[in-house]
Amino acid sequence: MTAQALPPLREVIAAHGLAADKRLGQHFLLDLNLTAKIARLCGDLPGSVAIEVGPGPGGLTRALLAEGASRVVAIEKDPRFAPALAEINDAFDGRLSIIEADALKIGREALGIEAGARAVIAANLPYNVGTALYTGWLEAEPVWWSRAVLMFQKEVAERIVARTGENAYGRLAILTAARAKARYAFTLPARAFTPPPKVDSAVVVIDPLPDAQRFGDVEALSAITASAFGQRRKTLRKSLAQAASQTRASAEELLASCGIDPGARAETIAPDGFMALAKAWRAARS
Ligand code: SAM
């Protein structure tokens, strides 16, 4: 079968009896214009390997292959999609590899990405594991992907791109800023999916920062932001007491060494301030 002869996704779902399983966050994107729009956000796909989490019936998978990805490696937990995905592989000259697994348990090695290959991550992420996968990719060192184009619940996308002082600003925005540049691409209403989820979704484009600019000590940054945002309404003098208790310094001393007002609240401090605090926290532990 050729790529043009592949049946519409609705027919594939009906023919293979692929009723959506809510426990696996299955909400399918069947509009090929939208899947093509997501694939185009991946940038230069010819010459790239695309890693897709949760291909389901394969809408985005087809788009990634049609846009010229040299290979798509798709990780899918639900084995029911295997026959539909095998048809796509046939139609695209064997450029699709399927790994039947839980993406949370799959490391870079299992993806078989050759050293030096340009790998792009593209996914309409299952809601229940999307944030955990995203932070895992952000924290991975060395960084093995050159761009990630990811669909999240809109509220999660807003937390990723939030600026200092905004309601959505918190740990996710700070970790993102420490490791990457993130851009909110577009919103998809719930009705764009089959079956529709309860909330709207949004696509974000994430580009890792160059090695020299990435903040390396994610453990320290996590300890500081967990403490600071765990008690969001309190002043940093109080909220950082928990992180400071793991060091020789007091919260006041950590803050003073970074030139941060102890009476300030976490949401008013830019990512740079948290990175400075993470460094001070690490130094005060050694
Ligand atoms: N990519 C398809 C689309 O856009 O129509 C399906 C997206 S659906 C939101 C999420 C997909 O992720 C489902 O196919 C689901 O089976 C799969 N999935 C859920 N949890 C997973 C996990 N832990 N590892 C791999 N795939 C998972």
Compute the distance from residue 161 Cα to the ligand 1 centre, in Å. Answer: 23
Q: Which of 78, 81, 149 to mutate to test the pocket of ligand 1 (most atoms within 8 A of CB)?
A: 78
| Mean of pLDDT over the chain | 95
> Which pLDDT belongs to residue 52?
98
Instruction: Work out which ligand 1 atom sits closest to the CA atom of 56.
Output: 14
Instruction: Work out which ligand 1 atom sits closest to the CA atom of 61.
Output: 1
Mean pLDDT computed over 220-232: 96
Residue intervals of the chain classified under CATH 3.40.50.150 are 3-213
Q: Write the pLDDT tens digit of every residue in 13-25.
A: 999 999 999 999 9
Q: Write the pLDDT tens digit of every residue in 155-196.
A: 999 999 999 999 999 999 999 999 999 999 999 999 999 999
Compute the distance from residue 68 Cα to the ligand 1 centre, in Å. Answer: 22
What's the half-sphere exposure (Cβ side, CA atoms, 13 Å) at 188? 28
The partner residues of 149 in beta bridges, in order of sequence, read 122, 205
CB 209 within 8 A of CB 181: yes
Length in residues, the chain: 286
Residue whose CA is closest, atom 17 of ligand 1?
A: 54
Mean pLDDT computed over 41-70: 96
For the cut 90, the answer to whether the pLDDT of residue 118 exceeds it is no
Q: Which residue has the higher pLDDT, 267 or 1?
A: 267
CB 192 within 8 A of CB 179: no
Residue whose CA is closest, atom 21 of ligand 1?
A: 77
pTM comes to: 0.96
* CATH code linked to domain 3-213: 3.40.50.150
Residue whose CA is closest, atom 3 of ligand 1?
A: 28
Query: How does residue 114 score in pLDDT terms, banded at 50, 70 and 90?
Result: confident
For the cut 90, the answer to whether the pLDDT of residue 286 exceeds it is no
Ligand 1 pocket member 56 (CB < 6 A): yes
How far, in Å, are 90, 249, 259 from residue 99 at the CA level? Answer: 16, 48, 49
Ligand 1 pocket member 54 (CB < 6 A): yes
Ligand 1 pocket member 75 (CB < 6 A): yes
Residue intervals of the chain classified under CATH 1.10.8.100 are 218-285
Ligand 1 pocket member 104 (CB < 6 A): yes
For the cut 80, the answer to whether the pLDDT of residue 116 exceeds it is no
For the cut 80, the answer to whether the pLDDT of residue 117 exceeds it is no
Query: How does residue 108 score in pLDDT terms, banded at 50, 70 and 90?
Result: confident
Residue whose CA is closest, atom 19 of ligand 1?
A: 24
Fold of 218-285: Helicase, Ruva Protein; domain 3 (1.10.8)
